């Protein structure tokens, strides 16, 4: 049985956010729903500092979904640059095409319509509905889940995937007023990003430290399944990134030897090139040449 949290958590976190919120372009009152959607795609597994310049350049070039939909998916991959996980660029391009085709070029405001867009899962649909359209939605990203897990359930880190108990807790804390609920969702997210961080949380700066179950329990260490440790050097991810970098920097197609030169392990390089082709991030351009789609 899930223990419902105290509503006393809400006001201090909202007050803290009023004072400490970062000025991010997708949070400004003037931000379009498209800006919010683009930011949510880019922020997946990528820090804000890396997203900011790419988001700015993206919105300058493609200020609307229609503008992006009119370009090739390869241009989206090229503009994605070194953000990583470039399949997100293909999905964002596909989402722009769907918005233009099915919604008259306007990012939809309903959760179900957002959820039906390519590349949009539960979190992204809820986030856009809340942050762009000020709706009352439970928004559970890693930062929110960590804050609520510590403050309410006295666990250092949440489970690998969202649980029913987490949703019950999040729903119980969500303010009834939709605009306030939307602000609450981003406030908890910001607290997790800046104070209640995964490593070295700054409990002395937390507005709810005296209401935090984890802190009261002596900050017990995580005892769940081993948390995944991401590596990069020497991985297929790095190899794929090297191959894509060659194609991004070329105005057209490139010969196979240009790709061969950037990675010494022949078997790994061929495997990664095949996976890029399978993912639609690279296309064969004939005569042993390759290009962005």
The residue behind tokens 């609450």 is 184
Yes or no: say if 9 and 208 are a contact pair by the CB < 8 Å rule: yes
Alpha helices, DSSP H, located in 195-255: 213-216, 236-248
CB 127 within 8 A of CB 139: yes
Instruction: Say how far residue 91 (Cα) sits from the centre of its chain.
Output: 13
Q: Which pLDDT score is estimated for 29?
A: 94
Q: Where in the chain is the domain with CATH 1.10.340.30?
A: 32-131
In tens digits, what is the pLDDT along the chain, a chain of 293 residues? Answer: 455 666 789 999 999 999 999 999 999 999 999 999 999 999 998 999 999 999 999 999 999 999 999 999 999 999 999 998 999 999 999 999 999 999 999 999 999 999 999 999 999 999 999 999 999 999 999 999 999 999 999 999 999 899 999 999 999 999 999 999 999 999 999 999 999 999 999 999 999 999 999 999 999 998 877 777 778 888 999 999 999 999 999 988 999 999 999 999 999 999 999 999 999 999 999 999 999 99
Q: Does domain 7-19+138-216 have CATH number 1.10.1670.10?
A: yes
Whether pTM > 0.75 for this model: the answer is yes
pLDDT of residue 5: 65
Judged on CB neighbours under 10 Å (0-12, 13-18, 19+), 35 is: buried
- Please answer whether residues 158 and 149 qualify as being in contact, where contact means their C-beta atoms are separated by less than 8 angstroms: yes
Alpha carbon of residue 248 to chain centroid: 22
Q: Where in the chain is the domain with CATH 1.10.1670.10?
A: 7-19+138-216
The predicted pLDDT at position 233 comes to: 84
Looking at residue 4, its pLDDT comes to 61
CATH of domain 32-131: 1.10.340.30
- Residue 223: what pLDDT? 83
pLDDT at 1: 46
The gap from C-alpha 265 to its chain's centroid, in whole angstroms, comes to 32
The yes-or-no answer on residue 75 being catalytic is no
**Could you say which of 19, 40, 56, 166 is catalytic?**
40
Give CA–CA dist 284/292, Å, rounded: 9
């Amino acid at each position: 049985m899930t223990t419902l949290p105290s509503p006393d958590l809400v006001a201090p976190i909202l007050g803290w956010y009023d004072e400490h919120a970062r000025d991010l372009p997708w949070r400004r009152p003037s931000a379009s729903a498209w800006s919010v959607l683009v930011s949510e795609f880019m922020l997946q597994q990528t820090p804000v500092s890396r997203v900011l310049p790419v988001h700015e350049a993206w919105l300058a070039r493609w200020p609307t979904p229609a503008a992006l939909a009119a370009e090739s998916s390869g241009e989206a991959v090229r503009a994605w640059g070194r953000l990583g996980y470039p399949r997100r660029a293909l999905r964002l391009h596909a989402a722009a095409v769907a918005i233009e085709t099915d919604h008259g070029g306007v990012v939809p405001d309903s959760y179900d319509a957002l959820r039906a867009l390519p590349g949009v899962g539960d979190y992204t649909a809820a986030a856009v509905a809340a942050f762009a359209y000020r709706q009352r939605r439970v928004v559970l990203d890693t930062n929110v889940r960590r804050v609520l897990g510590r403050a309410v359930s006295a666990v250092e880190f949440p489970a690998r995937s969202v649980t029913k108990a987490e949703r019950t807790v999040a729903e119980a804390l969500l303010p009834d007023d939709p605009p306030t609920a939307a602000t609450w969702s981003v406030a908890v997210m910001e607290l997790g990003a800046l104070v209640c961080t995964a490593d070295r949380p700054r409990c002395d700066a937390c507005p709810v430290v005296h209401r935090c179950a984890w802190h009261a329990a002596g900050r017990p260490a995580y005892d769940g399944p081993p948390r995944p440790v991401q590596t990069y050097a020497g991985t297929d991810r790095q190899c794929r990134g090297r191959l894509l970098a060659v194609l991004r920097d070329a105005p057209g197609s490139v010969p196979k030897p240009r790709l061969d030169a950037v990675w010494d392990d022949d078997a790994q390089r061929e495997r990664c090139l095949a996976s890029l082709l399978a993912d639609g991030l690279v296309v064969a351009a004939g005569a042993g040449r390759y290009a962005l789609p």
